[in-house]
Amino acid sequence: MDDNKERLQKVMASCGVASRRKCEEIISQGRVKVNGNVVSELGTKVSKKDVIEVDGKVLFKQEHVYYVLNKPTGYLTTVSDTLGRRTVMDLLDPETKKTRVFPVGRLDYDTSGVLLLTNDGELSYRLTRSQKEVEKEYQVRVSGIIDQPAVTKLIKGVLIDGVMTKRAKVEILELNRKNDSSLLTITITEGRNRQVRKMCETVGFLVKKLKRVSFGGVTLDGLGVGEYRPLKPHEIKKLYSL
């Protein structure tokens, strides 16, 4: 057994093809060749000497790049959309897209805020698929005046889609009786589909506005809506430490 070999999808991700999960799909679709032979088995391992092709193009190791985008609502968090809808890639300039970046995880169509983009598939995998807890903080505007019992339930965990949520951090920022709404921060360590919205609905409060203000300690840092910036070295280091 060659200990220097790595799984094909991991190598593809490190070369900036896509996230590791997406690379697995590409392999299963028969779009990858190793040394001229089509490979569709996910358990395949390769060495540095092997020549890997994806859609007929030979892979080369890319320099990794990392960005944080202040995602507006009304954009899909995906690289492309078969229906022609707007995606977060439409917010990037052509030069940035040359590095084949992709979003880290998901941010709903109607949710704004911090979205990481990179061509580092290994980091993306670690932040979205590993068992380690990565904190994601949201600012949430809900209808109605929330009470302490509801907050306590959110903190301890609620049942959504048949599974209890993990403990959360919740803080009330504002109770606006004039407009009958409440402003909260909710920090979670999971990434389930529409999780914050479902959590709030479970305790009886509909979300009016939702914005992610931090992902693993990375914040918007003065970015306007639709703007993005490279991550600072200490931010990248912190994400890897997670």
Is 186 in contact with 174 (CB distance < 8 Å)?
no
Q: Among 108, 110, 180, 221, which one carries the catalytic annotation?
A: 108
Calpha distance 59→17 (Å, rounded): 8
Helix ranges, 41-137 (H) = 94-97, 121-128
108 in catalytic set: yes
Q: Write the secondary structure of 138-200 as one string of H (helix), E (strand) and C (coil).
A: EEEEEECCCCHHHHHHHHHCCEECCEECCCCEEEEEEEECCCCEEEEEEEECCCCCCHHHHHH
Total number of residues shown for the chain: 242
Amino acid at site 136: K
CA distance 168 to 59: 41
- Residues noted as catalytic: 108
